[in-house]
Structure 1
Amino acid sequence: MLRFKNTFRDGAGFDTILVVIALGYLVLFSAFPLAYNIIMSFQSVDLFSLASFDRPFVGLDNYRDVLGRPESWGIFLNTVKFVGISVAAQLSIGFALAMFFQLDFPGNTWLRGLFLAGWIMPALVVGAVWSWIFAGDFGVLNHALMALGLTSEKIFWLSDPDVTLYSVIIANIWLGVPFNMILLSVGLAGIPEDIYEAAGMDGATRLQRFFTITLPMMRAQLGAVISLGVIFTLQQFDLFAALTQGGPSNASNVFQYWSWQLSFQYYEIGVGSVISVLMIFFVILVAAIYVRSTRHEHVA
């Protein structure tokens, strides 16, 4: 006991205590909810059995239920569109802005700060702002489009089934671009300027330098941004809650919002857990692919 006290007093055992605290946090707030959710996906859980723990196991019935519902395929396609378009646009715009802010010009720091201001806003607040912009009768976007002659009639961005999903995508792109810009700016700042100067002396154009120097040396950062973009986009819930609530008729519904609807609106908690489990394993797959690719890159 005295040896333990002396070790702790000297600070030699402090790192062990920090590791134990971190592991306890992960078990309590990550591992336990994950295991609990997986177990519920194999049980018949509703509002009454949730508190009583009287939950019969139903095997794969919940999974068959989800996959067999007529709306599941449409919601799956919506999720693919939402994630694919959002991540691609956030990456492209964020990369362009990161390269733009590598230039030295007056007001660079202040302008960069303005872009970051939108990123720190809560997603619900962003959703409220975009709901005013997208308003069919008095929205700023419709007013601007009609003033420019790009459309002759109002577009009901949040109630037209043909455009409502893309309205949420636009808001999500706006929200995620600053994060992409920050990560990619760090990567660009790490590329030695001497390499560009040497390539320029050899006659390489700006476009050639981009494809032969910038992209290859940004491979790790691009992989991280894409992986994090997919994970964060799959977690996006607030924008759907603030803008469309998955409607109309599931036209803008995605898996993360559908899981909440099944669990907390329709009280089909076991079925809602199935969607969460499927999304969790997809996120783990994306993370594993990224880690494996970076490991191979370091080995090479």
Structure 2
Amino acid sequence: MRSGPRPAPDRARLRERITQWLFLLPALAYLLLFLGYPLIENVLMSFRHYTATTFYTGAAPFVGLRNYAEVLSSDMFREALLTTVLFTAGSLVGQFVLGLAIALFFQRRFPLGVLRSLLLLPWLLPLVVSGTTWRWMLDTDSGIVNRMLRGLHLVSSGIPWLTGTSQALVSVILVNIWVGVPFNTALLYGGLQDIPEHLYEAAKLDGAGPLASFRHVTWPLLRPVAGVVLVLGAVYTLKVLDIVLVVTGGGPADATQTLATRSYALSFQQLDFGRGAALGNVLVLVSLVFALVHLRASRRARYA
């Protein structure tokens, strides 16, 4: 027997599938053009001796893993790695603690929605603008921070926020905390809103105070969201470049050189694109580990 015409539902499903792919094509084209292609080129460049003269001669000899070996065995890598760990850890702790505190404050039916919106301003501002503003505020001689401290008689002379080797790292951490707190607050506040109110009422009837309610109700239910926030914060902080370059330029004496800024310096200041690409790929791999953790945490939060 000859088969009859295809049923209408099958044709409708086919049209729906084609429509879905047509909507996805622009996003896929964007990802391939602006993310996929540069990433592949960066990987290929890391295996070659690629310098400024390569743009004129076209010669980029294949060196295998030599760029990676030189980068990973250098003192600058170990110093930049330690700075990156300190910068990331300090930023994550500060952003999360302040973000959670503000989210808990807003959870108490805070009436001013405008203030909640204004809180996002540091996150929405271009990082160059934020960095430039903080560089002016932290200036040793004319910065408003030192002027306030001297006015309150807390210090007798200006603190070298940007020129002291120990103070500079603290300064960029504080600036990055200021930038990242709104993001943490927004996600944590959303997680708090999903906690049923009757659980707090039941805890109150059982005699639980604010701290006990947070420990036994808020934190257990907020933990999956908190995990996502911390992992995302780690990924974003690892690739921070603008803030460090604008505020301190990686100085003084390389005190604020992270893996991201060191990769930038190798590529665009020393014009050693091969080693810069190798260090950049190392940073990509580290970020990929956190991204995989983020996907797992997101899945856990979704089904929690």
Report the AA paired with residue 87 of structure 1. L
In structure 2, the partner of 1:57 is 62
Q: Give 5+ residue unaligned stretches, structure 1.
A: none
In structure 1, the partner of 2:203 is 199
In structure 1, the partner of 2:3 is none
Q: In structure 2, which of residues 95, 110, 113 is the aligned counterpart of residue 109 of structure 1?
A: 113
Q: In structure 2, which of residues 69, 75, 82 is the aligned counterpart of residue 77 of structure 1?
A: 82
Q: In structure 2, which of residues 143, 146, 157 is the aligned counterpart of residue 142 of structure 1?
A: 146
In structure 2, the partner of 1:45 is 50
Alignment of 1:84-233 (within 5 A): 84-106=89-111, 108-233=112-237
> Matched residues in 2 for 1:24 and 1:7: separation?
26
Contact 1:184 1:221 in 2 (8 A): yes
Deviations 1:199-242 (A, max 9, x none): 11111221111111111111221111111111111221111121
Report the AA paired with residue 288 of structure 2. I
Displacement of 1:51 after TM fit?
Answer: 5.7
> Matched residues in 2 for 1:170 and 1:142: separation?
15
Contact 2:225 2:301 in 1 (8 A): no
In structure 1, the partner of 2:38 is 33
Of 187-196 and 46-55, more deviation after overlay is shown by 46-55
Displacement of 1:299 after TM fit?
Answer: 6.5
Contact 1:66 1:72 in 2 (8 A): yes
Contact 1:262 1:269 in 2 (8 A): yes
> Matched residues in 2 for 1:51 and 1:208: separation?
68
Deviations 1:116-174 (A, max 9, x none): 22221111001111011101111111112222232222111111112111111111111
Q: Give 5+ residue unaligned stretches, structure 2.
A: 1-5
> Matched residues in 2 for 1:8 and 1:204: separation?
55
Report the AA paired with residue 78 of structure 2. W
Contact 2:232 2:294 in 1 (8 A): no
Instruction: Sort the Cα spacing of 1:288 and 1:205 in 2 relative to 1 into closer, same or farther, 3 A.
Output: same
> Matched residues in 2 for 1:130 and 1:297: separation?
36
Instruction: Sort the Cα spacing of 1:299 and 1:240 in 2 relative to 1 into closer, same or farther, 3 A.
Output: closer
Indicate yes or no: 2:272 matched with 1:280: no
Amino-acid identity (%): 37
> Matched residues in 2 for 1:268 and 1:165: separation?
26
Secondary structure at 2:191 match in 1: helix
In structure 1, the partner of 2:24 is 19
> Matched residues in 1 for 2:114 and 2:23: separation?
39
Displacement of 1:291 after TM fit?
Answer: 2.1
Deviations 1:83-110 (A, max 9, x none): 110011101100100010112344x212
Deviations 1:175-198 (A, max 9, x none): 110111111111111111001101
Displacement of 1:296 after TM fit?
Answer: 5.2
Contact 1:8 1:14 in 2 (8 A): no
Of 111-120 and 196-205, more deviation after overlay is shown by 111-120
Contact 2:224 2:300 in 1 (8 A): no
> Matched residues in 1 for 2:254 and 2:204: separation?
53
Instruction: Sort the Cα spacing of 1:12 and 1:154 in 2 relative to 1 into closer, same or farther, 3 A.
Output: closer
Deviations 1:38-93 (A, max 9, x none): 11111110011146542111111111211232222111111111111001110110
- TM-score of the superposed pair, with normalisation by structure 1: 0.91
- TM-score of the superposed pair, with normalisation by structure 2: 0.90
Contact 1:93 1:177 in 2 (8 A): yes
> Matched residues in 2 for 1:55 and 1:8: separation?
51
In structure 2, the partner of 1:253 is 257
Displacement of 1:279 after TM fit?
Answer: 0.8
Secondary structure at 1:25 match in 2: helix
Of 78-87 and 6-15, more deviation after overlay is shown by 6-15
Displacement of 1:294 after TM fit?
Answer: 4.3
Contact 2:228 2:297 in 1 (8 A): no
Question: Across the two proteins, how many residue pairs are aligned to each other?
Answer: 295
Report the AA paired with residue 213 of structure 2. R
